[in-house]
Amino acid sequence: MATIDLSPLYRSSIGFDRMARLLDSAMRADGNAAGGYPPYNIEVIGENRYAITLAVAGFSDDELSIEVENGMLKIQGRKEDENEERQYLHKGIGFRSFERKFNLADHVEVKGAKMENGLLTVGLEKVIPEAMKPRKIEIGKSLNLLEDSAK
């Protein structure tokens, strides 16, 4: 397993702890890739809009759950064991339980989800707070704040 030394970053940066945790979990996940089940796509829909689509054929809406906590999107599928005994000549369709986790960047919100033709699509949007958006500062002749502090 490859390791990354982030100590130079810590010497000159403050508040990047989350990035270090993301890198660490990504490095661990590469070696443990969950078998690629279920397959998924991550798509850019438009500016600041994304969609994650998972192939969940055979799962019903009530067997799937979607949760967001602390910047982590978790999608789970829970399949109950089949009680009826079937005799298969070939069983290639995997109806096994799964859990997929996706790290969300700051200000990315889950806007909704839909299930269509065995595909679960989760809509995401990056919502930038007004305080973080660029704003134009007008230059005026007087600024009371500066005049008050000079006294």
Residue carrying the six token digits 């590469």: 30
CATH number assigned to the domain comprising residue 41: 2.60.40.790
Coil, helix or strand at residue 68: strand
pLDDT above 90 covers a percentage of the chain that reads 41
Whether residue 54 is predicted with pLDDT greater than 80 in this model: the reply is yes
β-strand partners of 50: 44, 124
Least confident of 34-43, 90-99, 130-139, 142-151: 142-151
Domain that holds residue 72: 37-82+96-132
Looking at the 3D structure of the chain, how many domains does it have?
1
- Residue 65 domain-assigned (yes or no): yes
Query: What pLDDT does 31 receive?
Result: 47
Query: What pLDDT does 134 receive?
Result: 87
- Residue 107 domain-assigned (yes or no): yes
- Residue 64 domain-assigned (yes or no): yes
